[in-house]
Amino acid sequence: MNSTQPVAHETEVIPADATVDALVQLSFRVHHILGRIGAEHDLSVVQIRMLGVLRDREPSMLALAGHLGLDKSSTTGLVSRAEKRDLVRRARGLRDGRSVTVSLTAHGRAVVNICARDVEREINGLVAPLSDRARQQLVSGISEILTSHDAS
């Protein structure tokens, strides 16, 4: 390590505006990655997010709307467009026949797997300059933020 470079210590306080700036810039970079990968597969960022939600669950339309932060009519349109492309399917809820669940089709799962691989490659490239310890701290900090936000 070059002795002229400043060394960050855990006791240093980072100004709030630096935290905001860093997080906003990082979110822009991640959003750009998602947008570019989505465009390669003719998907919007919202469609990528929806497919990501559906990777490991089959939510009701209402729950899907909640995950995506969309209203019911926007979610219905999103699912309808994905259904036309054979990415998702709707089914009557098992517990409540009035509810509708959404799940991936085989084609949708294949698209999700390709996009997930590409996103993983790009995000890993983004954090490649970090040491293993710095990555662990990043993941821990993000997890703490998300857990705290989800609880409120």
SS3 88: strand
pLDDT tens digits for range 85-107:
999 999 987 777 678 999 999 99
Q: Domain for residue 93, yes or no? A: yes
Q: Domain for residue 28, yes or no? A: no
Please check whether residue 135 is in contact with residue 127, taking contact to mean a CB–CB distance below 8 angstroms. Answer: yes
Domain that holds residue 53: 39-151
The CATH code of the domain that includes 68 is 1.10.10.10
pLDDT tens digits for range 19-58:
899 999 999 999 999 999 999 999 999 999 999 999 999 9
Q: Domain for residue 99, yes or no? A: yes
The pTM of the full predicted model, rounded to 2 decimals, is 0.80
CA distances to 34, 107, 133 from 20, rounded to whole Å, are: 21, 39, 22
Query: What total of structural domains would you count in the chain?
Result: 1
Q: Domain for residue 16, yes or no? A: no
Q: Domain for residue 14, yes or no? A: no
SS3 100: strand
Q: Domain for residue 116, yes or no? A: yes
71-81: b or e for each residue (b if 16 or more CB lie within 10 Å)?
eeeebbebbee
Q: Domain for residue 75, yes or no? A: yes
Q: Domain for residue 117, yes or no? A: yes
